[in-house]
Structure 1
């Protein structure tokens, strides 16, 4: 496949791709990087070309290469189904070995230091980041939440969430501070339907973009002097649940994991929790 055809078909592939906006953006960036490289080197999309392409970028971490390879594999399978390729050029590419993922959560005290630097007038930001931490939502799920997804019936406050694969789940809003922030925030909104978190740049509403949220979060963490990614808010919630003795089955459902193996990554408890559990076991013998 030549570069011009690849560029055209890549856009068609992305249009038909049923994934989250964040995933589509990542796929687009990966395919654009490849087409730019092919254009500079005067090559076509072929097996030998892809081997040279990856060999030309030894600085990529295994996870980065793995992600880019996944993008190319899915595009090539899509192209094969439409008879745009005669064979799959990714078929014999070696996968890099990845270290087992080990999510790291932060202590609540560290996160409260970050929340403390958010100005009072930035109620939207404060609520968004608190919501992700106290519920373990993915940031994309929080940004996709609508006002009408909320049910703030006293004593049974919850949020209907659309997760990966368009799977829906109900997330209990059991933190009093979070619920109080939600009630105050809703009273300030001039609408009762639509995205819970809207952009306000230039006075125009619309869904808040991930890039904007990422930039704001980095600003707050920098001001607080605490290193923490957005996704670590989710990890921190899961870690709190594990150390609080919540079952993995319940954590899996709350986080929206399809497989319990994903939830098992959070299963390393703190020394204090482990000691408490062993002492309790001995007293009950």
Structure 2
């Protein structure tokens, strides 16, 4: 396929691509860049040509190369399916090593907007999602909480969680609104043992499934107009702790991380928090 035909077929591919306008625009720029480079250098559209292309742009960040490589791979798969190529020149390419993404937490006011969309009669949903947000539990850990795991002794409210690797940890319940919601919820339960959060479909109790919880959460977020996954509630809690000056060792214990390197991913504090800490330190030096 010569460069002129490549450019024509690339536009056809982009027309048929069912992706967001931003993705289509990025792919168009990537394919045009490759086409222009092949035309200028005289390289062919084959494996060695792609090797030379990426070698000539070794300054690209891994994320940039990864995106460009994805665009090329999808285009060539599309071309092969339409018999426009007889082989895929991207098969030998190795994926660049990408660092794990920095966990993105939401501001409290954004999360509260979602909570405001939960009807008053859905006390179970409201409590489950606030428990995750105010304690940083994994959603699976929250669904695994039993009534007998709770200790609501005044002044020492906490729960016992079975986390990853069957490791137990104690989580302090330090938010008054959460504790009060737990007390009201327990008062209305008709049982004192078993899962704290049970399904009520068709009037039958039983463990609440992750899929059901995910669907309900997605509905609340859509009504609030806020994009947030269930796992981001955990990230949001960790981010609040970091910005509040809580030590990474304490956050690690709170979240049940086995390795401190996992906790370090949350260590990107806000500018205002960093500035306040530096001012406090400066005052101690006077």
Pair in the same fold by TM > 0.5: yes
Distance in 2 (alpha carbons) for counterparts of 1:241 and 1:265: 13
Specify every segment of 5 or more residues in structure 2 that has no aligned partner in the other structure, as ranges. Answer: 1-69, 75-93
1:228-247 paired onto structure 2 within 5 Å: 228-247=228-247
Q: Distance in 2 between matches of 1:128 and 1:237?
A: 14
Aligned mates of 2:95, 2:172 — CA distance in 1: 39
1:100 CA drift (Å): 2.6
Deviation by residue 1:230-280 (Cα, 9 ceiling, x = unmatched): 000000000000000000000000000000000000000001100101111
CA distance in 1, matches of 2:195, 2:260: 31
User: What is the rounded CA distance, in whole Å, between the counterparts of 1:215 and 1:97 in structure 2?
Assistant: 33
SS in 2 for 1:170: strand
Query: Helix, strand or coil: the match of 2:153?
Result: coil
Other-structure match for 1:188? 188
* Corresponding residue of 1:81: none
Distance of 2:215 and 2:164 partners within structure 1:
24
- Structure 1 pair 226–283 and aligned structure 2 pair: CA distance change class (3 A): same
1:156-192 deviations in whole A, cap 9, x for unaligned? 0000000000000000000000000000000111100
Structure 1 residues 75-116: Cα deviation after superposition (integer angstroms, max 9, x where no partner): xxxxxxxxxxxxxxxxxxx77623332000000010000001
Show the 5 A alignment for 1:245-264.
Answer: 245-264=245-264
Report runs of 4+ in structure 1 exceeding 3 Å deviation: none
5+ residue gaps, structure 1, are: 1-54, 60-93
Mapped to 1, the partners of 2:223 and 2:186 lie a distance apart of: 27
Who is 2:113 aligned against?
113
**1:22 corresponding residue in structure 2:** none
TM-score by length of 1: 0.67
Alignment coverage as a number of residue pairs: 198
Please give the alpha-carbon distance, in whole angstroms, between the structure 1 residues aligned to 2:236 and 2:271: 16
Match of 2:165 in 1: 165
Q: Partner residue of 1:222?
A: 222
Deviations 1:16-35 (A, max 9, x none): xxxxxxxxxxxxxxxxxxxx
Which is higher, the Rg of structure 1 or of structure 2? 2
1:127-169 CA-partner distances (Å, limit 9, x unpaired): 0000000000000000000000000000000000000000000
* CA RMSD between the two structures: 1.9
3-state SS of 2:159 partner: strand
